[in-house]
Amino acid sequence: MVRITSAVPRLLTTAFLTLAAVTSASTITVKRPQLIQAAIDAAQPGDHIVVKAGVYDEQLTIKTDGITLTGQKGTILVPPTMPIPPAQQNLCFNTTGSDNIAGICVQGTDVQLAPFPGFEHQKVTSVGRRVKDVTITGFEINGFSGENIALYGAENALVTKNKIVDGQVYGVLAAGCINSDVSDNKILSTGLTPFGFRLIGVCSDNESGAKVWTNDIDNYGIAICIQTNGADIQHNHITNSCLGAFVDPGVNGAIVRHNDIGPSNPACATAFGISTGIVVSGINTEVQFNTIVGQSIGAAATPSNVGVGILVSDTPGDPRLATGNQIVRNTVKDCQLDLASISTGAGNVFKKNKCQTPASLCTN
């Protein structure tokens, strides 16, 4: 005879409560002139918010676990027409500079930020509790002065199948997150601004875990910035950018594979000053199976500044040297210089790359 212990009722109760939580999730539909933020504020963990086609001039804030925010075809989010009053300013307000706002801000609880360093974004110094399992999909998000989408202190957030247009500082930024996933998006800048290129298409500055896969990124100064140890950057298609992917100093173990980086924008020569497919300033980076073509700054090239396919480089003024990086089995062509290493760090390896210049790095 099988003894039924007291643990069994507890297990059954737990299973029932879990099932109840799943089955109680609701779908909330939003259509103009309703506000998306009102639906987000009313949502419970696990709810699905479906936004009908239309133009919505809002700044959105998500703090609730498990929210899926879906825009149907033709759903466009643009900046509010009126200034945002202080009581409605979320964590992402001013994180990229004075009076800059994010289109969608996914924020954890008690997220502490370092002061703004004068460029890029405020760093996350601590997170009280991360907001978990938020998904954003199906939107066109257009023209916000900071980030079009910002994830601050999130866990397992997914940004997928969106059209992300003209984010002035970032298309998508993940900061202080765990396991962010930015995949299958179109991220583009429609042209230069009076200040030059819009800055960065996607940046991952996480505590751990960052996936950036199968995005189309066009016309940003920097297409992808990599500031997370072990970041996974694969199968992205990058065009018309001045830096295709940049691995920051001190970043350990990033994977940059199977990316297709097309010719740089001719304006990079004057508006950005450099053109490089992949810059590696981190440590133990795996740069493999990428295809890079047409990195050039044209007639502006000098002996010390040319368009480079893959560059391993220390960052001036930063004591963290580029070391232990593996540049293997990439295809690089039609660049002013295909491969280059100007790092004094040890253990940087170039091998089995298909390229022409310089011959010393392009041999097998």
What are 314-327's pLDDT values in tens digits? 999 999 999 999 99
Q: Report how far apart, in Å, the C-alpha atoms of 357 and of each of 157, 305, 307, 331 are.
A: 41, 15, 12, 12
Q: Report how far apart, in Å, the C-alpha atoms of 184 and of each of 117, 181, 187, 208 are.
A: 31, 10, 9, 21
Q: Label residues 326-364 b or e (16+ Cβ within 10 Å = b).
A: bbeebebeebbbbbbbebebeebebeebebebeeebbee
- Domain 86-362's class? mainly beta
Under a CB-based contact definition with an 8 Å cutoff, are residues 267 and 192 in contact? Answer: yes
Under a CB-based contact definition with an 8 Å cutoff, are residues 260 and 234 in contact? Answer: no
The structure tokens listed for 316 are 């001036």
β-pairing verdict for 154-155 and 131-132: parallel
pLDDT at 11: 40
pLDDT at 364: 64
Residues of the chain where predicted confidence (pLDDT) is lower than 50: 1-23
Tell me the pTM: 0.91
Under a CB-based contact definition with an 8 Å cutoff, are residues 329 and 320 in contact? Answer: no
In sequence order, which residues have a C-beta less than 8 Å from that of residue 92 and are 6 or more positions away?
Answer: 61, 101, 102, 105, 107, 146, 147, 150, 152
Q: How many alpha carbons fall within 13 Å on the CB side of residue 220?
A: 32
pLDDT at 313: 96
Supply the DSSP string of 123-146, one letter for each residue.
Answer: PEEEEEE-EE--EEES-EEE--SS
Under a CB-based contact definition with an 8 Å cutoff, are residues 339 and 359 in contact? Answer: no
Q: How far, in Å, CA of 168 to CA of 153, rounded?
A: 22
pLDDT at 361: 94
Can you say how many angstroms the Cα of residue 356 is from the centroid of all Cα atoms in its chain? 32
pLDDT at 301: 84
pLDDT at 14: 40
